[in-house]
A and B are shown apart, each in its own frame.
Chain A
Amino acid sequence: MISLLMQTAAAAANPELTGGAIAFMVVSIGAVTTLTVWCFARVLSIGKREGGKLD
């Protein structure tokens, strides 16, 4: 069944990466990465000050 589906796939049109898609991708990935980096930078700086142990 999957083989049949794959044959039909070849005929299907694929979307092109438009400016809108790139914008959403960059903003989403950028936002999540920035938040993650900010959190870890803050955790690590506090950890450095306090020795990294939970107490």
Chain B
Amino acid sequence: MAEITIQPSRERWGTRIGLILAMAGNAVGLGNFLRFPVQAANNGGGTFMIPYFIALLVVGIPLMWVEWGMGRYGGRHGYGAAPGVFQVMWKHPVAKYLGVLGLVLPLCVFIYYTVVVGWLLGFTFFSITGSYFGLSTDEVSAFLYSFQNIHDSSVHGGWIGFLFYGITLALIVWVLGRGISGGIEKLALYGMPILFGFAILLAIRVLTLPATEVGSPAAGLAFIWTPDWSALGNAKVWIAAAGQIFFTLSLGTGSIHTYASYLKKKDDIALTGLSTASTNEFAEVVLGSTIAIPAAVTFFGVSGALAIASRGSFDFGIIAMAMVFQGLPGPQFVGQIAAFMWYFLLFIAGITSSVALASPAMAFFQDHFGIPRKQVALGIGALALTLGLAVVWWYNQGFLSEWDDWAGTFGLVIFAFIEIWIIRAAFGTARFWDELHQGSDLRIPHFFYFILRWVAPLFLTFLLAWFGATAMWPALRMDGVAPEQIGGRWLARSIMIAMVVVGLVLIRKAFQSGVLYRKPAEEET
């Protein structure tokens, strides 16, 4: 390897609270408020929490520690993205190339997720202006679909949705350009308290709503929490619980590695990581179960809420909640304020996750090519604007869904499978256990060593096999895809493959030079 050239130091987090909130911002997303309650309700109600908490304990928290530990270890060697992290943990020529998944997948998710976050910004704006107040459910649906569809000008100008995407993207680029402590940490320090404050206020309002002819908040809570003991014997319920834990903690995206790479060797990750996970769980279990479903059941009854939920979490969160806010007791501005709080908290949940998803690519270009962060941020913004237009343009042709399937679902499991086996078979569990406890403020119970060594690798192998058989193979064959979507999905797939190829070429180029442009933590004075 060529001689290493060291230039400026890698950035650092300013405070531990800032780091926890930024990591929690990465994890807390739309799924906490929209996906979790529906998953619980459909998979045994209260009894869903038994496999859910077991999965959190034996899979979620250990895997989260794995990613924190890998990230901090990589950062010590000057690497903030998966290719470098894998390379230093597994001395094999192929290791760095496997890290391409930790670059391209979060970038793809970043691009389409930011489109969705832009829609939420739009609905935050429309809540202030009261644009959809007074509309019927069908009219709100038309309002949303016209907003999402650039080709549909029936309600909005076709480009309005893309305009909000552009504003959201500009904000993200600005945050990324300001760096770790000056941008991402600041966003979390301001954004996360607002998110939790709004969520707590909304939960109180929802739970104190009067009953209607069709439902009540208590019925909503009963819908989520009523135990169905027979569900415990159903393997699908356990898989659903493990899947929910996996996705809610943002595992397998590569973003945790990058955030943790800005830590030093003696910075605690055991307690800090656990705090992040618990913050996410608070948002999911406490707040996620007390807003959307109880509100929707109050106004639509159980089957009405389920019918809307069956069309997807996003329709549920937008259309159902838009009708809920219109129906709140009191003058219209009360509903508008509540709606603003709802969409804005989802917007914050989304934008903090988006920023995290862009971070691996940010770190890669800064670490390996020495490009200043503002230029990298602008470059990623330009790429996202271009490909975001493709996401919007071919939205009805399944472009977004295809990326969500491969980059946002299957890819994460594949990435997590690779990283856990790198720890298990290459780096060594015992060595990693010692690494995990460097500077630790928490002695992790030895029970977790067994989990890391045996349970997590076997579980992820099983999860990958299960996903492969039940979801990936049918998705690869495009089973059940509407004929009019085949072309759009192939286009999305082709672009993603092209991005992987470009990523591989860039990794080769980066490691051929052997140059590191940012000073690793150990070198700092």
Contact = CB atoms under 8 A, between A and B. Distances in A.
Nearest to B49: A28
B285 A28 contact: yes
Contacts of B19: 54
B286 interface: yes
B489 interface: no
Interface in A12-34: 12-18, 20-25, 27-29, 31-33
A44 B271 CA distance: 11
B308 A15 contact: no
The main secondary structure of chain A at its interface with chain B is: helix
A13 to B, nearest CB: 8
B141 interface: yes
B286 A6 contact: no
B275 A9 contact: no
Contacts of B214: 9-10, 14
B137 A2 contact: yes
Interface in B220-268: 221-227, 263-264, 267
A52 B16 contact: yes
A17 B289 CA distance: 14
A24 B49 contact: yes
Interface in B277-327: 278-279, 281-282, 285-286, 289, 297, 300-305, 307-308, 319
Contacts of A6: 137, 300, 304, 307
B225 A24 contact: yes
B114 interface: no
B303 A12 contact: yes
Given A3-B137, A14-B297, A29 B285 contact: yes
A17 B14 contact: no
A53 B14 contact: yes
A7 to B, nearest CB: 9
A38 to B, nearest CB: 8
Nearest to B137: A2
Contacts of B272: 43
B9 interface: no
B98 interface: no
A25 B263 CA distance: 37
Contacts of B47: 24
B9 to A, nearest CB: 13
B17 interface: yes
Given A24-B45, A28-B49, A36-B278, A2 B141 contact: yes
A20 B289 CA distance: 16
Contacts of B104: none
A46 B268 CA distance: 11
A14 B216 contact: yes
Contacts of A1: 138
Contacts of B286: 29, 32-33
B229 to A, nearest CB: 9
Interface in B166-198: none
Nearest to A8: B303
Nearest to A50: B16
A20 B16 contact: no
Given A9-B307, A16-B222, A24 B227 contact: yes
A14 B302 contact: yes
A1 to B, nearest CB: 8
Contacts of A32: 278, 281-282, 285-286
Contacts of A35: 274, 278, 281
B264 A55 contact: yes
A43 B275 contact: yes
Contacts of B391: none
A17 B281 contact: no
B281 A36 contact: yes
9 contacts: A6-B137, A14-B219, A16-B218, A17-B221, A39-B275, A43-B275, A43-B441, A52-B15, A53-B15
Interface of B: 12-17, 19-20, 45-47, 49, 53, 136-138, 141, 213-216, 218-219, 221-227, 263-264, 267, 271-272, 274-275, 278-279, 281-282, 285-286, 289, 297, 300-305, 307-308, 319, 441-442
Instruction: Kindly list the 8 A-B residue pairs having the minimum CB-CB distance in the complex, ordered from nearest.
Output: A9-B304, A24-B46, A14-B219, A12-B303, A9-B301, A39-B275, A5-B307, A21-B225
Interface of A: 1-3, 5-6, 8-10, 12-18, 20-25, 27-29, 31-33, 35-36, 39-40, 42-44, 46-47, 52-55
